[in-house]
Amino acid sequence: MAHAATTTLPIIAITSGEPAGIGPDIILKALIEQAFPARLVVLADPDLLLDRANTLGLKVSFEHVQSARDAGKHQQGVIQVSPIRQAKKTVAGVLDLANSPYVLETLKQAGEGSLRGEFDAIVTPPVHKGILCDTGVHFSGHTEFFQAQCQSPHVVMMLATEAMKVALVTTHLPLKDVSVAITEESISLVVRALNKDLQIKFGIAQPKILVCGLNPHAGEDGHLGREEIDTIIPTLNKLRLEGIDLIGPLPADTLFTPKYLDEADCALAMYHDQGLPVLKYSGFGNAVNITLGLPIIRTSVDHGTAIDLAGTGKANSGSLKVAIQHAINMANNAKKFSK
Ligand SMILES: NC(=O)C1=CN([C@@H]2O[C@H](COP(=O)(O)OP(=O)(O)OC[C@H]3O[C@@H](n4cnc5c(N)ncnc54)[C@H](O)[C@@H]3O)[C@@H](O)[C@H]2O)C=CC1
Ligand SMILES: NCC(=O)COP(=O)(O)O
């Protein structure tokens, strides 16, 4: 049972991620290496964590929590686990379709617990989207999973480092489908949600948002594509009338330079691989992925499952630490806001 003095600390659910990947490794490392001012509950198979700790030679102890409210303040090296069982014992580095339902169950329980108010935030280590899809479910990302679970009309994927924030108009979409997904409606929903959450969750009174064009040179006056002229520019002009501070559309290759970035709070890219490579080049391993527009708080790491590193001890837990700390900060801010 949590001590009375700790009950004001936020309760953060941490899912295990893909069990054959580095999720278990980075959870163990992060929770040994850093003391977090929160009650942390890991939704995972305790045997998976114990096996991985043994493989990595890490000293750690486990406490089972039946209810999130029973969790105490995190202590380094003590992992509080809400048990969810895998179908099969995991071999580090070897994906197994049989455990995909386990992965989905950890996400389902984390989301449901958050919607019920049992968790103040969710932090998700990486899942392997391919192995989840191989079970026949359509899984394109946590972002879309929690959007569906929360029945949120629109969400925004934003990755952030100390130096830069990059949000996306479209998320996990094949490149051939991006152009038709860039509409007045999609841009407007994303820009409004982004502007609002930069104000509420990040305390930026009047966010300044840089917007990328879709085409090379932002379309070169229509000679290299018309999406800017037909859709992006008129939509941004309407959004400006709502008082939102937007710059652009700018050619993406020059937008990501200090001249522009230094003057703005966030860059908005039209698609995944337009914005995220820049962000990852600037801070891979220390960035956080935040889903905006949900009624719950969800943060994640900036990397994938790194199957090649599972169980080797080489996985860096930096991004998970940043993701946990962001979740704690956002949960504390949300509590202040709701008073
Ligand atoms: N939040 C999530 O659930 C995410 C999941 N993924 C999934 O991860 C899987 C693998 O994706 P990849 O494109 O191969 O990216 P990846 O990030 O797993 O690996 C790219 C490279 O970075 C290295 N790396 C990744 N994380 C590291 C860490 N913490 N410490 C040290 N080195 C690290 C890997 O060893 C590899 O060389 C895919 O199925 C993808 O969908 C990818 C990104 C985010
Ligand atoms: N590249 C970031 C990414 O794919 C994260 O996706 P999600 O699982 O957080 O939706």
Instruction: Report the first-to-last Cα separation within the chain, whole angstroms.
Output: 26
Report the domain count for the chain.
2
Does position 21 have pLDDT exceeding 90, yes or no? yes
Nearest CA to ligand 2 atom 6: 141
> 17 and 83: one domain?
yes
Q: Measuring from each residue's beta carbon to the nearest atom of ligand 2, which residues come in under 6 Å?
A: 141-143, 276, 289, 300
Distance from C-alpha of 297 to C-alpha of 294, rounded to nearest angstrom: 7
- 2 CA to centre of ligand 2 in angstroms: 33
pLDDT at residue 1, rounded to an integer:
52
Q: What is the pLDDT of residue 74?
A: 98
How many residues are given for the chain?
339
Which of residues 288, 304, 328 is at a domain's end?
288
Task: Pick the atom of ligand 1 nearest to 126's CA.
Answer: 3
pLDDT at 3 over 90: no
Q: What range defines the domain where residue 128 resides?
A: 1-152+294-339
Does 156 score more than 80 pLDDT?
A: yes
CA distances from 58 to 51, 92, 319 (A): 10, 15, 20
User: Are residues 78 and 191 located together in one domain of the fold?
Assistant: no
What is the position in ligand 1's atom list of the atom closest to the CA of 307?
Answer: 18
Query: Residue 333: its pLDDT value, please?
Result: 83
ipTM value for the complex? 0.98
pLDDT at 113 over 60: yes
Please give the structure tokens belonging to residue 273. 């691989």
Answer yes or no: is pLDDT of 50 > 90.
Answer: yes
Rounded Cα distance between 207 and 209, Å, is 6
Beta carbons within 8 Å of 336's beta carbon, 6+ residues apart: none
Residues 148 and 177 in one domain: no
- Coil vs helix vs strand at 56: helix
Q: What is the CATH number of the domain that holds 19?
A: 3.40.718.10
The verdict on 254 and 311 lying in the same domain is: no
Q: Which atom of ligand 1 is nearest to the CA of 317?
A: 29
**140 C-alpha to ligand 2 centroid (Å):** 8
CA of 306 to the centre of ligand 2 (A): 14
Kindly list the protein residues whose Cβ atom lies closer than 6 A to any atom of ligand 1: 22, 26, 126-130, 142, 300-301, 303-306, 308-309, 315-316
In this structure, the answer to whether residues 215 and 139 fall within a common structural domain is no
Q: Is pLDDT at 334 greater than 90 in this prediction?
A: no
pTM: 0.94
| 280 in a known ligand binding site | yes
| 243 & 325 share domain | no
- The verdict on 317 and 300 lying in the same domain is yes
Q: What is the spatial order of strands in the sheet that 245-250 belongs to?
A: 61-64, 78-83, 39-44, 11-15, 121-124, 298-300, 288-292, 156-160, 165-168, 266-269, 208-212, 245-250
Domain shared by 128 and 184, yes or no:
no
Which residue carries 């008129």 as its tokens? 234
Share of the chain above pLDDT 70, in %: 97
CA of 143 to the centre of ligand 2 (A): 7
Model confidence over 243-274: pLDDT tens digits?
999 999 999 999 999 999 999 999 999 999 99
For residue 127, the ligand 2 atom closest to its alpha carbon is 8
Out of 253, 271, 288, a domain closes at 288
Same domain assignment for residues 306 and 188: no
DSSP β-bridge partners for residue 43? 15, 82
Structure tokens at 274: 């337009």
Band of the pLDDT at 100, cuts 50, 70, 90?
Answer: very high
pLDDT at position 210, please? 98
- Please determine, for residue 2, whether its predicted confidence score (pLDDT) is greater than 80: no
Q: Please name the residue whose Cα sits nearest to atom 3 of ligand 1.
A: 126
118-129 residue pLDDT tens: 999 999 999 999
Mark whether 141 and 38 lie in a shared domain: yes
Q: Which ligand is nearest to the CA of 103?
A: 1
Per-residue confidence (pLDDT) for residue 59, from 0 to 100: 95
pLDDT of amino acid 280:
94
Q: What pLDDT, on the 0 to 100 scale, is given for residue 169? A: 97
Same domain, residue pair 67 and 90: yes
Sign of CA dihedral 87, 90, 95, 100: positive
Distances 241 to 208, 234, 245, 248 between C-alpha atoms, Å: 14, 11, 9, 15
User: Is the per-residue pLDDT at 44 higher than 70?
Assistant: yes
> Both 138 and 4 in a single domain?
yes
